[in-house]
Amino acid sequence: MDSEKRRMTGAEAVIRSLEAEGVTDVFGLPGGAILPLYDAWASCEHTIRHYLVRHEQGAGHMAQGYARATGKVGVAIATSGPGATNLVTPIADAYLDSTPIVCITGQVPTHLIGTDAFQEADIQGITMPVVKHSWLVDRVEDIPRVVKEAFHIARSGRPGPVLIDIPKDLQLAELEFSYPKQVDIPGYKPSRHGHPKQVITAAEAILAAERPVFYVGGGAVSANVDPADLIRVAESVQMPVITTLMAKGVFPDSHPLCIGLPGMHGSKAANWAMNRSDLLIACGSRFDDRVTGKLDAFAPGARVIHMDIDPAEIDKNRAAQIPIVGSLELVVPKLAEAVQSRMNGGPPKAAEWLRTVQGWKQEHPFRYRNTEPLKPEYVIERLRDLTADRDVIWTTGVGQHQMWAAQYLRIDRPRRWLTSGGLGTMGFGVPAAIGAKVGRPDATVINIDGDGCFQMTMQELATAKMYGIDAIHVVVNNGWLGMVRQWQELFHGERYSETLLESSSPDYVKLAESFGLAGFRCETVAEVDAAITGALECGGPCVIDAQVDHEEKVYPMVPAGASSAEMLDVEWAEDDNAWVEEGV
């Protein structure tokens, strides 16, 4: 990085600024208003690798997958107009899931802004509700400062997406480049340490509780909380731990205190424990409606400790009696220390409570009937078991397959589970897997997708082929928009309106082969292991078409608007050995 001022174009200044932030990989697609940046990409020496995508939505989700797998800031680039608007979905997804990404868009030349020029779009205005901050650069000299501020804002406090919109003429204009060493943003100073007295109050409340539940959310992953600190807090008082969909892995699924996923398709033990608790220790969790169900009926007898970096989350959905605003990476170890230092050495007060909850966990595991046609749960279990000796990063789309994967995968480390939780974006899985593999080439990356989700972004297989990004894409193919079909069956009198895909879907093996990838298919239990083993051994990006029972549903299920304790489930004979009991 040059330490002295040097004259260059605004486009080159963008590249030099990205280098100064340590960026090594970006995802994007060129177009007219961003051409000067791409021209500089080809004409000047730099250290950044660019991945050409097939759709700007793919670039955004790849940046998300990269960010969430590595903890770094992901970068996506697009042109003006439709290129920029195609980024809106991943920007909104990153906003709701607190993912740090920087999106750089080209804009029409300054003098044409506001004239409805070709491919003009007010992307700053369009994305205003779903970015942490945004800039429309109006002076070429501002580019280095804006990039510096963008990365600082994206990664600090509650992480999130930021947008930099740069008019074409400013990319061509020249400046004396000097990258700032520090940022000075008045009014933006996230509180990091948490109030010491509140931490002590929280520790005393935990020790006094008879039915505490540790409710860990995705904020713990974003904050890089050390799992050992979470374990110290939980083990000190031997309390049950619930990890939300976004938090899967930050507290080990295999730990005896973990009772898994709460909410609409969560475990009975998790939902019953939250409903009957007298103290919820919310750690980077936001009381999402998919967790709480009917909010007024959620955990009616519980006091709440709420720890979060974002003060706007406190009291948003559920009042907190003990709020702690600060970085969880710093607050959780302080809480662990405070709890341990105040223990008197006697048996945990909540011991009987833990026995009750673990009894629920043992008596009511996730289960399915392992018969033909092939069950999706079985495919996911075999994926889990046949990769048990590998460091696997899992991505998913959104729908039934996402919930089965959350129920049946066992993940013991953070940043190994990447899914779209807040926005629920179908099409997230394929590009997120590609981004994750770029960021973590040493890991095995497996995308579990539904056939509906896969068809939304499957064109990015071309990106995977182009760069040899060897993620495995497993299409849990039931021929339907499965989760919508499940709702139509249960709540709309089996009127399956516009959810059948089977007759018009491609042959996924031939599709993979058309991209130059390997394709595998399994239709029976006997074929599953061979398909997975073949994919693991093929040494490149590939697709598994797992053709599964289209009538299989995700249970248990909390109907929309019901209390989290009111779960639907199927009935089974106690002596029916065909049932498989797995998951948390």
- Among 5, 118, 372, 581, the active-site one is 118
Contact 322, 198 (CB under 8 A): yes
The three-state DSSP-derived secondary structure of 213-281 is EEEECHHHHHCCCCHHHHHHHHHHHCCCEEECHHHECCECCCCCCEEECCCCCCCHHHHHHHHHCCEEE
Give, as one character, the DSSP assignment of residue 301.
T
The three-state DSSP-derived secondary structure of 315-342 is CCCCCCCEEEEECHHHHHHHHHHHHHHC
- Among 132, 148, 168, 248, the active-site one is 168
The three-state DSSP-derived secondary structure of 356-371 is HHHHHHHHCCEEEECC
Question: Does residue 567 carry a catalytic annotation?
Answer: no
- Among 12, 21, 56, 381, the active-site one is 56
- Among 19, 119, 349, 513, the active-site one is 119
Q: Rg of the chain's alpha carbons, rounded to an integer?
A: 25
Question: What ranges make up the beta strands (E) of 402-442?
Answer: 417-418
Sheet holding 25-28, edge to edge: 49-52, 25-28, 74-78, 101-107, 161-167, 133-136
- Among 246, 307, 426, 483, the active-site one is 483
Question: Does residue 483 carry a catalytic annotation?
Answer: yes
Measured between its terminal Cα atoms, the distance across the chain in Å is 50
3-state SS class at 104: strand
Question: Does residue 168 carry a catalytic annotation?
Answer: yes
Tokens of 327: 């970085």
Pairing of strands 392-396, 444-450: parallel
Report, as residue numbers or ranges, the catalytic residues.
Answer: 56, 118-119, 168, 483
